[in-house]
């Protein structure tokens, strides 16, 4: 591993200032599950690592019905999976977090790291999109800004972060009734996923989003517009699966999805939407 300097500031101002004043090989270290491996295999060059885990405010989880759920940048996946608030109000998010790596990775990894990597392997991204998540960004020189996660993720592996900016947390609105599921499609049993799909019902509105290489995460608005306001029938669900299939094939620029993958996705979509077509208790 190439040597680097390590700093652990106790506030965001210093952390951001270090990013601004030093070169492009200065990186934020949070969970580090991805970054450290990239440094080891020399796919990422690092002169300076700025560890933000010493900033207390980044470890907060907060909830109220008016503002929704706030997740600080350093809250781990394991912390969220064990959170009574998340279990009760945002169960759909736990499905995607539990699919990430091993227990050891979930103890170190963070949702914010998932977002900032911007990779299609980031299992939480499609779920965060259908939940209308807002990304909260801090900069020593520019102040704060808050943007929808759809605008934050600009392409596979890239984001809209500018030099010196740090994601300090995310906000997820609270909408009362939230239900849904997360689907991961594998190329085969021994390889990484090639597509992620989240389906949700928020109050009376249906949401669906997917992510695969060569795209940004995408809401399938055609499905949502078709279903919203309907008493959903089995025929509607069959039509939804066909609309989703068309959209997936349009965006599969690397031709990763095979016939059996598409069939699996369509069957899972039908199964989830059939469950949604039953009224909640």
Rounded to the nearest 10 degrees, the angle between the axes of helix 234-251 and helix 259-276 is 140
pLDDT confidence tier of residue 257, bands split at 50, 70 and 90? confident
Give every CB contact of residue 129 below 8 A, 6+ residues apart in sequence: 149, 150, 198, 209, 217, 219
Asked whether residue 281 is domain-assigned, the answer is no
Structure tokens at 53: 């885990």
Same domain, 129 and 191: no
Residue 1, pLDDT score: 47
| pTM for the whole structure | 0.90
Residue that the structure tokens 């031709």 belong to: 255
Same domain, 195 and 109: no
Residue 196, pLDDT score: 86
Which three-class secondary structure state does DSSP give residue 58?
Answer: helix
H or E element: which one contains 262?
helix 259-276
Structure tokens at 64: 């109220």
Which of these three, 130, 150, 172, is where a domain ends? 172
Same domain, 76 and 162: yes
Distance CA 125, CA 210 (A): 9
Count: domains in the chain: 3
Which three-class secondary structure state does DSSP give residue 37?
Answer: helix
| Mean of pLDDT over the chain | 89
Same domain, 46 and 60: no
pLDDT confidence tier of residue 185, bands split at 50, 70 and 90? confident
The CATH number linked to 206 is 3.30.390.50
Range 186-212 average pLDDT: 80
pLDDT confidence tier of residue 220, bands split at 50, 70 and 90? very high
Q: Which of 126-130, 156-160, 190-194 is predicted least confidently?
A: 190-194
Cβ atoms within 10 A of the Cβ of 255, count?
Answer: 8
Question: 257 versus 237: which is more confidently predicted?
Answer: 237
DSSP state of 212: -
pLDDT confidence tier of residue 278, bands split at 50, 70 and 90? low
Structure tokens at 200: 């949700």
- Domain extent, residue 211, equals 178-276
List the Cα angle 198/37/192 in 5-degree steps. 35
C-beta pairs of 35-40 under 8 Å, 24+ apart in sequence: 39/1, 39/2, 39/4, 40/1
């Amino acid at each position: 591993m190439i040597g680097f300097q390590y700093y652990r500031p106790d506030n965001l101002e210093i952390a951001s200032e270090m990013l601004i004043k030093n070169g492009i090989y200065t990186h934020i270290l949070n969970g580090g599950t991805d970054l450290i491996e990239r440094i080891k295999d020399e796919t990422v060059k690092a002169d300076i690592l700025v560890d933000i885990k010493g900033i207390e405010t980044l470890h907060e989880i907060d909830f109220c019905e008016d503002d929704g759920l706030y997740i600080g940048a350093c809250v781990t996946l394991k912390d969220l999976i064990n959170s009574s608030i998340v279990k009760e109000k945002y169960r759909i998010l736990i499905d995607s977090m539990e699919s990430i790596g091993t227990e050891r990775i979930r103890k170190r990894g963070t949702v914010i790291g998932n977002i900032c990597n911007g990779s299609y392997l980031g299992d939480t991204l499609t779920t965060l999109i259908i939940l209308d998540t807002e990304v909260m960004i801090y900069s020593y020189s520019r102040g704060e800004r808050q943007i929808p996660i759809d605008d934050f993720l600009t392409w596979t592996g890239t984001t809209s972060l500018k030099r010196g900016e740090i994601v300090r947390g995310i906000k997820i609105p609270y909408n009362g009734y939230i239900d849904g599921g997360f689907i991961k499609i594998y190329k085969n049993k021994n390889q990484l996923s090639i597509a992620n799909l989240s389906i949700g019902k928020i109050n009376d509105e249906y949401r669906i989003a997917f992510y695969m290489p060569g795209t940004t995460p995408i809401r399938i608005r055609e499905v949502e517009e078709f279903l919203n306001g309907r008493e959903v029938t089995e025929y509607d669900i069959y039509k939804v699966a066909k609309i989703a299939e068309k959209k997936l094939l349009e965006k599969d620029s690397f031709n990763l999805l095979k016939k059996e993958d598409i069939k699996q996705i369509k069957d899972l979509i039908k199964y989830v939407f059939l469950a949604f077509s039953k009224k909640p208790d």
